């Protein structure tokens, strides 16, 4: 292929193509409905594995119904398996079928999932507290911190801004609520069939984690991933056996010795050549044995289940944003519950200035004035979150 062809092909696969935008939005629509379904099932005594299965089944079924009669076969389905991580569990909890873990009253439930159509990926994460009334106390603080940080990030991920601008801002937001941004979380650029693109936004910059400086550009797509904690924000891996989500490391090869490993790796290569998958989707008896050897030789990239300390609360909000020529378009979200945080950002001029920035190029940050209800600092973000569909 000549370099001209490559340039043309690359050009056709970004948001300058209407077809690409349509596929992103179709994936997002299915994902938002899947998230709504799982949130509605978050009740005391609900089994976590059942919630994960319901989310995955919905995405499989709905993506199976679109682009059925396309001229060429269009890959579509789950881009990230449904995870339901509770309280101090930070992420990636998607247990095997035999797991008996259930939800309880007042649990802080983080739902994380992804869907793709033709490799164009929409991802989302949402935090729901199992309570009948408003969310109060530190639970409200940590959730308001995540939501406000997400809203600020939404306004700073725009052409001309740099990734480090976002990293610095979200940490200031978390501090305002006396919370921490969780270390090690990366917001990635999304490309066709690539869930973890090279351009990234670091959650916390420190000596251990460095990323290349990058500038956001028009027609790019990002998964903005915000995780906040009432604890130290330094999660730990407690038990490798809890890991059930993996992704094929496409650049690695090794001739596996065990028959079970070869069987499982062949199944993975056929069913999940690119996207992350859950071990639940494999033939389970052979999976445990086979996955170990695959992991030992780095054929798979694990998504470990991480934890803060018991008693800490962790909130997670992730959304997909299209950097369109007319402004930023947040295509995945779910409305938050009413929050009554103990901390307020009313007196924080810097954060309020970020929130006053518009998300559209054609209008200058309008519609932000009517939002300051007394004592409810979550209101501006709530309105922004609920307003996401109207941006389409």
Question: pLDDT tens digit string along 381-391?
Answer: 433 333 222 32
Residue 368 is predicted with a pLDDT of 38
Q: Are 328 and 360 within 8 A, CB to CB?
A: yes
Question: Do the domain assignments include residue 147?
Answer: yes
Are residue 231 and residue 340 in the same domain, yes or no? yes
pLDDT at residue 124 in the model: 98
* The last residue of a domain, from among 278, 302, 326: 302
Task: Give me the numbers of helices (H) and strands (E) for the chain, helices first please.
Answer: 9, 17
Q: What is the pLDDT of residue 234?
A: 95
CATH number of 298's domain: 1.10.10.10
> Over 60: is that where the pLDDT of 45 sits?
yes
Instruction: Write out the two tokens for 379.
Output: 């209101």
Q: Which CATH number do you get for residue 121?
A: 3.90.230.10
* 250 pLDDT tier (thresholds 50, 70, 90): confident
Instruction: Please give the tally of structural domains in the chain.
Output: 2
Residues 197 and 294 in one domain: no
Q: What percent of the chain has pLDDT over 90?
A: 79
273/293 same-domain check: yes
CB 381 within 8 A of CB 347: no
* pLDDT greater than 90 at residue 153: yes
**248 inside domain:** yes
* Of the candidates 92, 86, 106, the residue with the CA atom closest to the CA atom of residue 44: 106
Residues 257 and 154 reside in one and the same domain: no
| Residues 325 and 248 grouped into a single domain | no
The rounded percent of the chain whose pLDDT value lies above 70 is 89
What pLDDT shows up at residue 175?
97
Beta-carbon contacts of residue 161 (< 8 Å; ≥ 6 apart): 215, 216
Is 336 in the same domain as 196? yes
Same domain flag for 105 and 50: yes
Lowest pLDDT segment from 102-111, 138-147, 380-389: 380-389
Residue 392 lies in a domain: no
Same domain, 206 and 332: yes
Last residue of a domain, one of 264, 282, 302: 302
Does residue 24 fall inside a structural domain? yes
Minimum mean pLDDT range among 266-270, 280-284, 314-318, 329-333:
280-284
pLDDT at 42 over 60: yes
Look at 385 and 249; give whichever has higher pLDDT: 249
CB atoms near residue 108 (< 10 Å) = 24
Is there a single domain that holds both residue 134 and residue 93?
yes
Q: Is residue 372 part of a domain?
A: no
Question: Is residue 279 in some structural domain?
Answer: yes
DSSP state of 360: B
Q: Could you read off the pLDDT of 308-350 as tens digits, one per residue?
A: 999 999 999 999 999 999 999 999 999 999 999 999 999 999 9
- Which pLDDT score, from 0 to 100, does residue 372 have? 37
Mean of the per-residue pLDDT values for the chain? 89
* Banded model confidence at residue 246, pLDDT cuts 50, 70, 90: very high
Is residue 379 in some structural domain? no
CB count in 10 Å sphere of residue 286: 17
* Residue 105, pLDDT above cutoff 60: yes
Q: Which domain holds residue 266?
A: 243-302
Asked whether residue 373 is assigned to any structural domain, the reply reads no
pLDDT for the residue numbered 12: 54
d(CA 351, CA 58): 38
CA dist 299 and 248 (Å) reads 6
159 and 281 both lie in a single domain? no
Confidence of residue 376 (pLDDT cuts 50, 70, 90): very low
pTM of the predicted protein model: 0.89
Full DSSP string of 191-211: BTTBSS-S-EEESS--SS---
**Same structural domain, 195 and 331:** yes
Say if residue 112 is in the same domain as residue 125. yes
Q: What is the mean pLDDT of residues 185-202?
A: 94
């Amino acid at each position: 292929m000549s370099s001209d062809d490559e340039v043309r092909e690359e050009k056709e696969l970004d948001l300058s193509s209407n077809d690409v935008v349509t596929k992103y939005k179709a994936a997002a629509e299915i994902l938002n409905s899947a998230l709504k379904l799982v949130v509605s099932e978050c009740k005391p005594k609900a089994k976590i594995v059942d919630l994960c299965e319901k989310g995955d089944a919905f995405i499989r079924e709905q993506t199976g119904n679109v682009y059925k009669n396309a001229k060429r076969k269009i890959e579509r389905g789950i881009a990230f398996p449904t995870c339901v991580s509770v309280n101090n569990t930070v992420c990636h909890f998607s247990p095997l079928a035999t797991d008996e873990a259930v939800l309880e009253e007042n649990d802080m439930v983080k739902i994380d999932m992804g869907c793709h159509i033709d490799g164009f990926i929409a991802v989302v994460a949402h935090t729901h507290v199992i309570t009948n009334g408003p969310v109060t106390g530190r639970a409200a603080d940590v959730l308001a911190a995540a939501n406000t940080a997400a809203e600020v990030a939404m306004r700073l991920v725009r052409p001309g801004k740099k990734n480090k601008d976002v990293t610095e801002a979200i940490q200031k937001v978390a501090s305002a609520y006396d919370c921490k941004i969780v270390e090690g979380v990366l917001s990635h650029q999304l490309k066709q069939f690539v869930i973890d693109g090279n351009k990234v936004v670091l959650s916390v910059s420190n000596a251990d984690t460095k990323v290349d400086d990058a500038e956001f550009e028009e027609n790019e797509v990002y998964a903005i991933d915000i995780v906040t904690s009432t604890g130290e924000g330094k999660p730990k891996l407690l038990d490798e056996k809890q890991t059930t989500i993996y992704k094929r490391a496409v650049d690695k090869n090794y001739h596996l010795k065990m028959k079970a490993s070869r069987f499982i790796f062949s199944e993975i290569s056929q069913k999940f050549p690119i996207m992350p998958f859950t071990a639940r989707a494999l033939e389970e008896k052979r999976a445990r044995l086979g996955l170990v050897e695959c992991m030992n030789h780095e054929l798979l990239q694990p998504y470990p289940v991480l934890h803060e300390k018991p008693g800490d609360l962790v909130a997670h909000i992730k959304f997909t944003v299209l950097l369109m020529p007319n402004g930023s378009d947040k295509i995945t979200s779910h409305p938050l519950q009413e929050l009554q945080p103990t901390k307020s950002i009313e007196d924080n001029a810097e954060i309020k200035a970020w929130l006053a920035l518009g998300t559209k190029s054609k209008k200058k940050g309008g519609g932000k004035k009517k939002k300051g209800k007394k004592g409810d600092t979550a209101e501006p973000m709530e309105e922004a979150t609920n307003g996401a569909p109207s941006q389409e």
